[in-house]
């Protein structure tokens, strides 16, 4: 496979080096942030020697070349286009800046709430357990009847009663 020829074909089918805002690669994909997507010929990109697929995700044009091939095509691509090399994080940031205001707001909303999802799930699980405990034991007891549970804690060698009221 001629890596230089593949890189030149990528450059030609994305509208040239002037149409590239940022470029990076991961283990299998060439990741590009494009200024004008109308200049991109996806069919021609899919037919490049070594390209296994082309798609857009998260504001990036991603061309799959595969492990061991993408880094060589990337090096030639950078050299031919005179493009500054960027990290994956820099490409993601450049892609985020290309999105409209609504998509950026959704991203901020997601960045705030995604880290607290485990806490929300855990609190819901605990509330469910507490609600289920009001039904145990399945007898006609009043809500003020104390229930004694026996639990084994690792620091104790024998069971200790834990009493609480269902109210």
Catalytic residue list contains 165: no
Q: Cα separations (Å) of 135 from 4, 128, 147?
A: 71, 11, 11
Distance CA 48, CA 65 (A): 10
Catalytic choice (17, 26, 44, 80) = 26
Residue 122: other Cβ atoms inside 10 A: 10
Residues 6+ apart with CB under 8 A from 105: none
Instruction: Please name which of 86, 82, 68, 80 lies closest in space to residue 8, comparing C-alpha atoms.
Output: 80
The residue whose two tokens read 């009493």 is 163
**H or E element at residue 149:** strand 146-151
At residue 93, what are phi and psi to the nearest 5 degrees? -65, -40
Query: What are the catalytic residues?
Result: 26
């Amino acid at each position: 496979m001629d890596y230089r020829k593949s890189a030149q074909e990528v450059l030609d089918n994305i509208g040239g080096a002037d149409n590239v805002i940022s470029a990076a690669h991961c283990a299998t994909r060439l990741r590009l942030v494009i200024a004008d997507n109308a200049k991109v010929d996806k069919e021609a990109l899919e037919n490049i020697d070594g390209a296994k697929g082309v798609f857009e995700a998260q504001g990036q044009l991603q061309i799959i070349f595969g492990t061991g091939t993408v880094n060589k095509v990337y090096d030639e691509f950078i050299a031919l286009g005179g493009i500054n090399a960027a990290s994956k994080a820099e490409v993601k940031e450049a892609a985020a800046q290309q999105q409209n205001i609504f998509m950026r707001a959704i991203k901020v909303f997601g960045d705030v709430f995604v880290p607290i999802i485990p806490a929300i799930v855990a609190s819901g699980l605990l509330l469910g357990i507490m609600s289920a405990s009001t039904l145990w034991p399945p007898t006609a007891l009043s809500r003020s009847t104390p229930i004694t549970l026996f639990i084994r804690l690792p620091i104790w060698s024998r069971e200790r009663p834990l009493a609480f009221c269902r109210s």
